[in-house]
């Protein structure tokens, strides 16, 4: 007897494009756990990982007519999950209470015997991320984070507009996050960057 669960992702996505709820349910059941563990590896917080799973599949359902059956469905949903996780981590970087929670969960997820080594490795990685910035970005980032100067003070000292300083900081943070996302555990590194 034919079972919908036995269909490939390509076939299920083709049916999902037409609004087939059964195909959507099979895809959800097939990937919800993988998406959860992937999101949890990034955000560290159970509840947030669960929310990301829900948001991923809501986006899939809402934009089902745009799906491309010949493309990898798994790669598609993992990209959505990654973007949602990074959006959450960007918010955490600007919210001390939330960042502390992510940092605590990140520490808890490491083996106690590995914490000192991992922290040293992450600190080194954090420094590499900063030195990878273009010279002006790096200078402004260090003046802001290491010297504790305001955008106005940096603006006066470098004889540039405060808006330019803000734009350079936005660029610096974006570049650092991208570097860290490719080379390490971004949740842990956000906490290190807070104190750079």
Q: What is the mean pLDDT of each run of 10 residues along the chain (196 residues)?
A: 72 92 93 91 84 94 92 92 84 61 52 45 71 88 83 91 89 76 53 44
pLDDT given for residue 115 in this prediction: 41
Distance CA 92, CA 112 (A): 24
Which tens digits make up the pLDDT trace of 41-79?
878 778 889 999 999 999 999 999 999 998 999 999 999
Task: From 116, 139, 129, 108, select the one nearest 181 (Cα to Cα).
Answer: 129
Q: Left, alpha or beta for 95 (phi > 0: left; psi -120 to 50: alpha)?
A: beta
- Which alpha helices (H) appear in the chain, and where do they start and end? 9-17, 21-43, 46-62, 73-93, 96-108, 115-131, 135-145, 151-158, 162-183, 186-194
How many C-beta neighbours within 10 Å does residue 192 have?
18
**pTM given for the model:** 0.53
Which tens digits make up the pLDDT trace of 133-145?
889 888 998 888 7
DSSP string, 116-165: HHHHHHHHHHHHHHHHTS-HHHHHHHHHHHTS---HHHHHHHHTS-HHHH
DSSP designation for 95? -
pLDDT given for residue 2 in this prediction: 43
């Amino acid at each position: 007897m034919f079972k919908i669960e036995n269909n490939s992702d390509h076939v299920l996505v083709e049916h999902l494009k037409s609004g087939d709820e059964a195909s959507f349910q099979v895809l959800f059941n097939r990937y919800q756990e993988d998406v959860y563990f992937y999101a949890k590896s990034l955000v560290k917080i159970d509840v947030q990982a669960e929310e990301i799973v829900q948001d991923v599949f809501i986006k899939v359902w809402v934009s089902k007519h745009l799906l491309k059956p010949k493309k990898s469905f798994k790669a598609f949903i993992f990209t959505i999950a990654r973007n949602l996780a990074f959006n959450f981590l960007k918010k955490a970087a600007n919210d001390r209470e939330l960042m502390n929670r992510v940092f605590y969960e990140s520490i808890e997820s490491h083996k106690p015997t590995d914490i000192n080594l991992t922290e040293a490795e992450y600190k080194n990685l954090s420094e590499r991320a900063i030195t990878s910035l273009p010279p002006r970005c790096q200078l402004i980032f260090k003046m802001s984070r290491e010297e504790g100067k305001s955008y106005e003070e940096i603006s006066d000292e470098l004889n540039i507009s405060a808006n330019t300083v803000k734009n350079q900081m936005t660029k610096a943070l974006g570049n650092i996050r991208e570097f860290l996302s490719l080379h390490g555990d971004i949740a842990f590194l956000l906490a290190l960057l807070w104190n750079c």
